[in-house]
Amino acid sequence: MFVQMKTFVVKVGTSQIVLDRFAGQNKLAEQPGFIDRAILEKDVRRGDEEVVLYVRWESKEDWKNWEKHPDHIAGHKAKIGKPKPDHIIEVTQSTYHVHT
């Protein structure tokens, strides 16, 4: 199994924007090797907020195939030349091999 975690650090009061962006069904769930996903909202008392998109795949190859998929690429191309949304402070991505 392979896991992708994408972390969004956002300004106070804006985590719902990221939650809404990833809510519901999308093309990701239709991809071969996709297992499931979770959208995590960090429990913060004050300061910047954090949302983590946690996606499980059958294999690293399945994840790579999604990264090369036309739907995924089109989503990123649509953002070219546009400024980063004001509410986003930082986005990081980590990937993991799962060992049981």
Tell me: pLDDT of 62 over 90. yes
Domain CATH code at residue 86: 3.30.70.100
At 14, list the tokens.
């804006």
Strand partners, 30: none
Lowest mean pLDDT among 43-47, 77-81, 92-96: 77-81
* Dist. CA 100–CA 33, nearest whole Å: 18
Band (80; pLDDT cuts 50, 70, 90): confident
Residue 99: the pLDDT is: 94
* Dist. CA 17–CA 15, nearest whole Å: 5
Residue 11: the pLDDT is: 94
Domain housing 14: 2-97
Q: Which value, to the nearest 10 degrees, does the dihedral of the CA atoms of residues 82, 87, 90, 93 take?
A: -80
Domain total in the chain: 1
User: 95 phi and psi, to 5 degrees?
Assistant: -130, 150
